[in-house]
């Protein structure tokens, strides 16, 4: 069974940093591209960042570029999101999501349960 | 960036009735479109990919259609568990991968 479990969320002050983790199991993690998607309270879904299976290709939403870093450790079956210079508008539930198939031009077929990040003084 | 626009924002439907949700792309996305269902407090779940292919385990009452810029998700006979928010997403032109703002299907 495919499982994605996020951790690392919490309350942080504006300007602070936080690192999210996503532990993957039930599939060959190293073969799949992965994403972070966020959802602000009461709002819709916003793609944040994407990383290819070998980390060769990395993409960011303009809203987080230069502040967030996506990475992965295939030996540990884990995906990460390092978030720096956090702002109030980064407050959201952050989901890790798997890209189906081998291409980035695919849907997101499995999602974690999410990790809440609250940025507030 | 491709903008995805969903309509209506809220759809009030009685159980057993048909629901039709629309999604429009600001430019052609071919058939590279997915639909997701999200219930309150839960993660999104993939329903449809490739505009019309049901994901594993998705009941046949869910169907998708369309190509290019106009897409439709139809739920043929609404069950109690289908009341949720539905999002469309394009994965044709990226980055960014973009979602619609969602359609909430509520009980009439």
Query: What are the pLDDT digits (tens) for A104-114?
Result: 789 999 999 99
CB pair distance less than 8 Å for A105 and B91: yes
Q: Which residues of B touch A45 (CB under 8 A)?
A: 36, 38, 44, 87, 89, 99, 102
Interface of A with B (CB under 8 A): 35, 37, 44-47, 50, 59-62, 95, 97, 100, 104-114
Per-residue pLDDT at A113: 97
β partners of residue A118: A11
Query: What confidence category does residue A101 fall into, taking pLDDT thresholds of 50, 70 and 90?
Result: confident
The structure tokens listed for B106 are: 């509520």
C-beta of residue A107 within 8 angstroms of C-beta of residue A50:
no
> Pairing mode, if any, of strands B19-25 and A18-25?
unpaired
**Are A50 and B98 within 8 A, CB to CB?**
no
For residues A40 and A42, give the distance between their C-alpha atoms in angstroms, rounded to a whole number: 6
Identify the closest residue of chain B to A63 by CA–CA distance.
Answer: B96
Burial of B2 (0-12, 13-18, 19+ CB in 10 A): middle
Would you say B33 and B90 are in contact if contact means Cβ atoms under 8 Å apart?
A: yes
Q: What DSSP line would sit under A6-45, residue for residue?
A: EE--EEE-TT--EEEEEEEESS-GGGS-EEEEEE-TT--E
Q: What percent of chain B is predicted at pLDDT more than 90?
A: 98
Q: Nearest C-alpha of chain A: how many angstroms from B97?
A: 6
Q: What is the pLDDT of residue A40?
A: 98
> Look-up: residue for tokens 């999104």?
B44
Overall average pLDDT of the B59-65 stretch:
98
pLDDT per residue over B26-40, tens digit each? 999 999 999 999 999
Could you tell me which of A97, A119, A117 has the C-alpha nearest to residue A109? Answer: A97
Contact call for residues B102 and B11 (beta carbons, < 8 A): no
| Site of tokens 């996506």 | A70
Beta bridge partners of B2: none
Q: With CB atoms and an 8 Å threshold, state whether A112 touches B43.
A: yes
Q: Residues A25, A36: contact at Cβ < 8 Å?
A: no
Residues A73-89: pLDDT tens digits?
999 999 999 999 999 99
């Amino acid at each position: 069974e495919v499982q994605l479990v996020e951790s690392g969320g919490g309350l942080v002050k504006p300007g602070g940093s936080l690192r999210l983790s996503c532990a993957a199991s039930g599939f060959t993690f190293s073969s799949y591209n992965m994403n972070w998607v966020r959802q602000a309270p009461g709002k819709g879904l916003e793609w944040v960042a994407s990383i290819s299976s070998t980390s060769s290709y990395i993409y960011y939403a303009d809203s987080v570029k230069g502040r967030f870093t996506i990475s992965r450790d295939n030996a540990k079956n884990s995906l990460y999101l390092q978030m720096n210079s956090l702002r109030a508008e980064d407050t959201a539930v952050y989901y890790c999501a798997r890209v189906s198939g081998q291409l980035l031009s695919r849907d997101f077929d499995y999602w974690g349960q999410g990790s809440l990040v609250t940025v507030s003084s | 960036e491709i903008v995805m626009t969903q309509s209506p924002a809220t759809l009030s439907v009685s159980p057993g009735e048909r629901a039709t949700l629309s999604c429009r792309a600001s430019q052609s996305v071919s058939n590279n479109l997915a639909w997701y269902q999200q219930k309150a407090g839960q993660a999104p779940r993939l329903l449809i990919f490739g505009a019309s292919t049901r994901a594993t385990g998705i009941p046949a009452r869910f169907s998708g259609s369309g190509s290019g810029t106009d897409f439709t998700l139809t739920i043929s006979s609404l069950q109690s568990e289908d009341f949720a928010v539905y999002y469309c997403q394009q994965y044709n032109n990226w980055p960014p991968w973009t979602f619609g703002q969602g359609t909430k299907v509520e009980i009439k």
